[in-house]
Copies of this chain bind each other. A is one copy, B any other.
Amino acid sequence: MSAEPRLVEVRKNVLKQNDVVARALRERFRAAGVYVISMVSGPGTGKTMLLEKTLTMLQPQFRVAALVGDLATDNDAMRLARSKAPVRQISTGTICHLEAAMVEKALEAWNLNELDFLFIENVGNLVCPSSYDLGEELRLVLLSVTEGEDKPLKYPTIFNSADVAVVTKMDLAAAVEFDQELTDRNIQAVRPGIQMFHVSSKTGAGIPEFLEYLSGRLSGSHTAAIERT
């Protein structure tokens, strides 16, 4: 995997105002030694449930926090508060994606040096968040087994801008006659070589491998930060 998040590669030729803010954020995150992971998916794919599980399970070892974007409610922040991790809601109103400036504002009162991982859950949408860099180091795109195997082909931009694909709700795979081979092939067709996980937040299947991967990224990031200085 390259040193830059996929989205930075994708957007390097179309730098706009949001990218400028995002780049500054990324520098700030790296300087503070916090590894930032964003999550994108359609509505109801299970971002919040996976995030709650992740925050809870990483906490014994790491200092974690989360920002969650939503149009209208703070339901997700309430759910995530059960993990006891610091969580802040970003209400986007009618805007269908987070922007770097919203992330910057939400972080105003936080001391980033006190964090190992910061998660950013985007608004549930497979289109709008695609091209908005939030300064994250790693972008996860989620797809649930109930959504249909064709979604990577139908929403290629968001899969192409992600670093990792997570197939969720694997406990429902049999009930929906989920074709894992076809799905994996479609994901790889849109974004060749992308790292993939298959998980169930309900049963816990695949979660240890997923968390081990994230933990590994943190040490990689620290090393990279040291190498750059």
Which A residues lie at the B interface, using CB under 8 A?
A: 42-44, 70-73, 75, 94, 96, 123-128, 130-131, 144, 146-148, 150-151, 153-157, 169, 172, 175-176
Contact = CB atoms under 8 A, between A and B. Distances in A.
A125 B147 contact: no
A72 B155 contact: yes
Given A42-B42, A75-B153, 16 more contacts: A43-B148, A44-B144, A44-B147, A71-B154, A71-B157, A72-B155, A72-B156, A73-B154, A96-B127, A123-B127, A124-B154, A124-B155, A125-B126, A128-B128, A172-B172, A172-B175
B73 A153 contact: yes
A172 B148 CA distance: 14
Given A96-B125, A125-B96, A71 B148 contact: no
A70 B153 CA distance: 10
A176 B126 CA distance: 22
Nearest to A190: B72
Nearest to A175: B175
Contacts of A155: 43, 71-72, 124
B154 A75 contact: yes
Contacts of A128: 96, 125, 127-128
A144 to B, nearest CB: 7
A151 B43 contact: yes
Nearest to A154: B73
Given A146-B146, A148-B44, A176-B172, A156 B124 contact: no
Nearest to A130: B94
Given A42-B44, A175-B175, A71 B124 contact: no
Nearest to A125: B127
A151 B126 CA distance: 15
